[in-house]
Amino acid sequence: MGEVAARADLSLKTVYNAYTSKAGLLRAVWDLSLKGDLDDAPVAERPWYTAVLSEPDPQRQVAVTAENSRIVKTRIGPLLKVIRDAASVDDDLAALWELIQTDFWANQRVIVESLAAKGALRPGLDVRRATDLLWMLNHPDVWLLLVDRRGWSPTDWENWFAETCREQLLAPR
């Protein structure tokens, strides 16, 4: 926290008053990084998220999901790794990681429910299973494995993700 205070040209007390702990600071950085700006609107109200839900064509909806996921993950990837890795040694960060997982699954479910409402899910695939599939395919760990570890470009990941989602989630045309 001392280095953060020094770089921000603030007193350490000011930083602690604002964030109370390293976990609090990481939470604030997470929120800012995820949303991409200082607006307090939740993810569900962000134009990039509502664009997914308002897309009438399921094929295009998956493509928009993939594009937005690439953009967000490019922005948050390094921070996700820090939070995930620190969660194993810090209870507050473990709680933050769990919150991220829960919120992410819920956001994926809304996308799947939108696809289901259009009658677009693959036959025999229910909303819960489809949500699990989308959550897994779009999970930050998959991004980190393919982009960070295996050297895929973000665009390669986006294309793979969109194609795989279409195959796994959508009814054949």
pLDDT tens readout for residues 97-111: 998 899 899 999 999
pLDDT tens per residue across span 23-53: 777 777 777 666 666 667 777 787 888 899 9
Lowest-confidence region among 16-20, 78-82, 151-155, 169-173: 16-20
User: Which of 116 and 95 is assigned the larger pLDDT?
Assistant: 116
**Model confidence, pTM:** 0.84
Decide if pLDDT at 1 tops 70. Answer: no
Decide if pLDDT at 7 tops 80. Answer: no
Domains in the chain with CATH codes: 40-169 (1.10.357)
Count the Cβ atoms, other than its own, within 10 Å of residue 148: 13
Mean pLDDT of the chain: 87
The reported pLDDT for the residue numbered 3 is 73
Decide if pLDDT at 89 tops 90. Answer: yes
Q: What is the Cα–Cα distance from 117 to 168, expressed in whole angstroms?
A: 17
The reported pLDDT for the residue numbered 38 is 66
Cβ proximity of 93 and 29 under 8 Å:
no
Mean pLDDT of 77-94: 89
Helices 22-35 & 91-117 angle (0-180, nearest 10): 20
